[in-house]
Amino acid sequence: MTYALEISGLEKTYKGGFQALKGIDLTVEQGDFFALLGPNGAGKSTSIGVITSLVNKTGGKVKVFGYDIDTDLEKAKSFIGLVPQEFNFSQFEPLVNILVNQAGYYGLSKSVAIQRAEKYLKQLELWDKRDEPARSLSGGMKRRLMIARALMHEPQMLILDEPTAGVDIELRRSMWDFLKALNEQGITIILTTHYLEEAEMLCRNIAIIDGGEIVEDTSMKKLLAQLDVETFVLDLQVNLTLSTLTQFAEQSKSIAYRVIDDHTLEVDLNKSQNLNQIFEQLNTANIEVLSMRNKSNRLEALFVSLINKKSSTTKAKHQSAVVGVN
């Protein structure tokens, strides 16, 4: 089977000696919606830079739809649409020119380019601005312009590097719908984001990169299944009293909970427990729940634990190395 993206032993050491990628291996299947997550400086943008040939790798192999970027770079590039993290279009050119020129770089005729520019500017609600210079757009519009530009040659793989950074929630949601629709059409999407809720909602598979190494590479479902404890915040109908609390405490000895204030409880739920049990016990104690939410995003909890685990392993290795030297 040909993967949309196949990376093996990818290394990048910058001129100053900083090793941004330490031999990463990664595969993304065709049609996948894939999240590449990691803290700042983890190597996400460097990986994307290498895949799109904006960064020269120092080792390893990258194949895009089976085409090796070392031997078939131009063919590999034709499969990729890139939405970079930073705005990288001419601020002085009108939107329609930016899109038509971009299509031209992929060998599309002007008539096809104009049709597509109209299609994507309309889909991304930028058609009214088509003749205005790009510098006059708001931040959210500029992000949408970069998505339109990346789609002009109708790529089979779209790479988005933090596409919703600094975008308001309404616009972010409309972008999610747009990306989901693209993925349903069969376009492979690779997404990096700091909004873990976004990754959890959109992506089927996920890799977490930290310090230039892949620390997790699995499906979203499997990753979330690793979560041992989930914390729920319960907003209560009436004030908690000492008697209701005592009654609840007696019945729910196996449940860890914290009283946040007289209207709010936090409950930790582990894998062996279920919400029905908790509600049963709350009911018996005459505690009525108005609403309930996750305290933090589930993926966020896992992300933090994985990054912390990596960090403590690195520290331990460093300490043992220091001891060894001494």
Partner 1 sequence: MNNSIALKSILTKEIQRFTRIWVQTLVPPAITISLYFVIFGSLIGSRIGEMGGFDYMSFIVPGLIMMSVITNSYSNVASSFFSAKWQRNVEEMLVAPVPNWVIVAGYVGGGMCRGILVGLIVTLVSLLFVDIQLHNIWVIIATVTLTSATFALGGLINAIFANSFDDISIIPTFILTPLTYLGGVFYSISLLPEFWQGVSQVNPIVYMVNAFRYGFLGISDVSLVTAFSVIIFFIVTLFTIAMVLISKGIGLRS
Residues that bind partner 1 (CB under 8 A): 14, 49, 52-56, 73-75, 77-78, 80, 82, 84, 86-93, 97-98, 100-109, 149, 153
Comparison of 105 and 317: residue with beta carbon closer to partner 1: 105
Q: Kindly state the greatest CA–CA separation across the chain.
A: 77
Using alpha carbons only, give the angle 55, 33, 102 rounded to the nearest 5 degrees: 50
Query: DSSP letters of 192-208?
Result: E-S-HHHHHHH-SEEEE
The answer to whether the CB of 265 falls within 8 A of the CB of 273 is no
Place of tokens 């790529």: 155
User: Residue 257: what residue type?
Assistant: Y
- Count of residues in the chain: 326
What is the CB-side half-sphere exposure of residue 112 using CA atoms within 13 A? 12
In this structure, what DSSP letter does residue 136 have?
G
Q: Going by C-beta distance under 8 Å and a sequence separation of 6 or more, which residues neighbour residue 258?
A: 265, 266
How much is the CA Rg of the chain, to the nearest whole Å? 24
Smallest gap from Cβ 12 to partner 1, in A, equals 9
Could you tell me where the beta strands, DSSP code E, fall in 102-180?
157-161
Distance (Å, rounded) from C-alpha 212 to C-alpha 19? 7
Q: Which of 287, 281, 297, 284 is nearest to 232 (CA)?
A: 297
Smallest gap from Cβ 77 to partner 1, in A, equals 4
The answer to whether the CB of 97 falls within 8 A of the CB of 91 is no
Q: Which residues pair with 6 in a beta bridge?
A: 27, 63
